[in-house]
Every structure is written in structure tokens, then in C-alpha cells.
Amino acid sequence: MSADLPFQNVAIIGLGLLGGSLGQAVRAHLPGATTRGYDADPAVRVRARELGLADTIADTAAEAVTGADLVILCVPVGAMGKAAREIAGSLSPDVVISDVGSSKHAVAVALAAELPGFAVIPAHPVAGTERSGPDAGFASLFHNRWCIVTPPADVDAAKLARLVAFWKALGANVETMDAAHHDLVLAVTSHLPHLIAYTIVGTASDLEDVTQSEVIKYSAGGFRDFTRIAASDPTMWRDVFLSNREAVLEMLQRFSEDLTALQKAIRVGDGEQLFDHFTRTRAVRRSIIEEGQDDARPDFGRSDHNGGVGG
């Protein structure tokens, strides 16, 4: 291993938005490292070769991980166990196994069960777009985004440090926390927002008295914002909700209580309560922009220079 490189040979299993971005990010930021990629879908492997998403695209997962000192599983959370089984017999003893899944307790359990004796250190880069597939990725995806690492209690400190260094080299900020807390935090900052967006886009599609054409034409009143995250990968999100069920249901319960309170304020005409609530939520946006976690321009800097919230 080179003195400068946290890992020399990186295997990437799954070459969609995250895996493809990872391959390109390693090439851009860790030019001394080699990457080997694999995807279960033969068509994705063909496209990954055309795009050069990794130095080599292997035809089996086992081949991809042979000789790797870091393996990152970039498959839907529900497919982690299967992916781990496919590579278990071909891993080097000192390898670090990590992943990019959006729920962490379920992944930690699945990987530990399939890979006893190996150093499994789950992680979750909080980054992405609504696109998916091998054409969706780009090298700067992780810049200034947070990567949450959820090491097990008995983690090898040196290996953890190398994984942290790896993500920092790709431009990410790194935080460590336990898997259960990660799942609670992401339930509110990511999983619940997606569930709500998926719901409202479905609601708007099913109306009889408002046509689909009207919903689309007048979407700049706010609705269009929700359609972006409701366009995210269905397999990935099915697995997120099934694997982080308890935390999602807990956050959903709180959301429903708050929604009922605002519903009642509307019904009884309590303008003061509405005004106070809407004033308080305004401050959160300012904090997010101050912390560099969103575009400071109005309307996310949309190209039409206008848009989202005319009412």
C-alpha cells in the first residue's frame, strides 16, 4: 500500500448512481488507486465499460473483489446480503468491507451474518440526485456532503481511520455514529421526506376533479419540488422503507400529529398559530444555507430564474 493512499485496490459492487460516482471519484481524487467494478446487470456492465466507471469491469462479483483491500457494496439495501454471499469466498483476509446504503442497522446485521471474521464498517454518504443508473454518476457527487460511518463496537481503529481518510479524499465530510442513531436521523432528514413526496405525487395523480394536465401545468406553485424526489429509484426506496421500518414509522407518527394540529388550526381559523409556525420554519432554511448544505440562490438556482412558490 502506498503511504499516501488509504486503499490501493478498490472494488465497487453495483454501478448505479452511487457506485458509478465512486469509481469516477476515486479516479479523480486518488489517482494511484485502482478500481474494479461489477454489476449484476450485464447491460450495466457493458455501459460501465463504455463510460469507464472503473479501471476494470469484472464479470463476476467474486472476480471484482479478488485482491481488493476495500470493497464497497453499492447495491440496494435489500440486496446487501446476497452481494455479500457472492464475494465471501474471494475476499482477502485484511480487506475492509463497506457500503453506501441508506439504512445502517439492517445492513450491519446482514453483512455481519454473511461475512463473519471480516472487518465490516458500514457507511452512508448523504449524497445523490433523483437520477439512477450507470449514466447518472459524476466524480464530484460527494464534495462537501456528509458521509456517516457507523463502525461496530469492536472496529479495528486503523481500518476505520483508513476508511475515513478514503471518504475525505473524495471530498466528503465524515462523521461517525452508531447505526441506530444514524437510522433515526436519516428517517427524518431523508426517509420521511421521500415518503411524503411519494405520497403527495400519488395523491395528485389520482384526483377525479383536477386533471393530470392541470396538475402538471400549475406545478410551479410548489408541487414540482416534490416530484423531484418522488422520481428517485423505486427499488432503492422500497428497500429503505422496509429496512428502516421502525424509525420511519416513529417519525411518520410525529409528522401526522403535527399535520393534524395545523389541519385543526386551518379548520378553526387560527391564523396566529399558522403564522407562528410558518415564521419558525423559515429559520431552518437560513441555517441550511449558512452551513453550505444548499444553494443560496432563490428557487435552488433553477435555470428559469423563477418558479416554485407563487402559491
* Residues within window 26-85 making contact with a second copy, judged by CB under 8 A: 78
Cell of 211: 386533471
In angstroms, what is the minimal distance from the CB of 7 to a second copy? 22
Q: Count CA atoms closer than 13 A to 100's CA, side-chain side.
A: 27
Amino acid identity, position 39: D
How many C-beta atoms lie closer than 10 Å to residue 87's C-beta?
A: 26
Residue 10 near residue 33, CB atoms below 8 Å: yes
Return the number of the residue (32 or 271) whose C-beta is nearest a second copy: 271
* Residue 38: strand pairing partners: 13
Q: Running DSSP on this structure, what letter comes out for residue 301?
A: G
Amino acid identity, position 157: A
* CA 6 to chain CA mean position, Å: 23
The region of 31-39, 55-63, 110-118, 182-190 touching a second copy under the rule CB under 8 A is: 182-190
Q: Running DSSP on this structure, what letter comes out for residue 187?
A: I
Q: Single out the residue of 131, 160, 168, 178 in contact with a second copy (rule: CB under 8 A).
A: 131
Q: Single out the residue of 3, 18, 71, 83 in contact with a second copy (rule: CB under 8 A).
A: 18
Return the number of the residue (31 or 281) whose C-beta is nearest a second copy: 281
Return the number of the residue (46 or 300) whose C-beta is nearest a second copy: 300
- SS3 annotation, 207-267: CCCCCHHHHHHCHHHCHHHHHHHCCCCHHHHHHHHHHCHHHHHHHHHHHHHHHHHHHHHHH
Using CB under 8 A as the binding rule, whether residue 308 contacts a second copy is answered as yes
Q: Running DSSP on this structure, what letter comes out for residue 191?
A: I
Site for a second copy in 243-282 (CB under 8 A): 245, 248-249, 251-252, 254-256, 258-259, 262-263, 266-267, 269, 271, 274-275, 277-282
Return the number of the residue (153 or 284) whose C-beta is nearest a second copy: 284
Return the number of the residue (85 or 224) whose C-beta is nearest a second copy: 224
Number of residues counted as binding a second copy (CB under 8 A) = 125
Using CB under 8 A as the binding rule, whether residue 176 contacts a second copy is answered as no
Using CB under 8 A as the binding rule, whether residue 123 contacts a second copy is answered as no
C-alpha 300/C-alpha 286 separation (Å) is 13
Site for a second copy in 215-244 (CB under 8 A): 215-232, 234-242
In angstroms, what is the minimal distance from the CB of 104 to a second copy? 11
Q: Single out the residue of 2, 56, 60, 199 in contact with a second copy (rule: CB under 8 A).
A: 199
In angstroms, what is the minimal distance from the CB of 206 to a second copy? 8
Give the residue from 27, 91, 85, 76 showing the smallest Cα distance to 56.
27
Return the number of the residue (166 or 241) whose C-beta is nearest a second copy: 241
In angstroms, what is the minimal distance from the CB of 48 to a second copy? 19
Using CB under 8 A as the binding rule, whether residue 191 contacts a second copy is answered as yes
Decide the pairing of beta strands 146-149 and 119-120: unpaired
Give the residue from 96, 48, 49, 52 showing the smallest Cα distance to 73.
96
Return the number of the residue (59 or 295) whose C-beta is nearest a second copy: 295
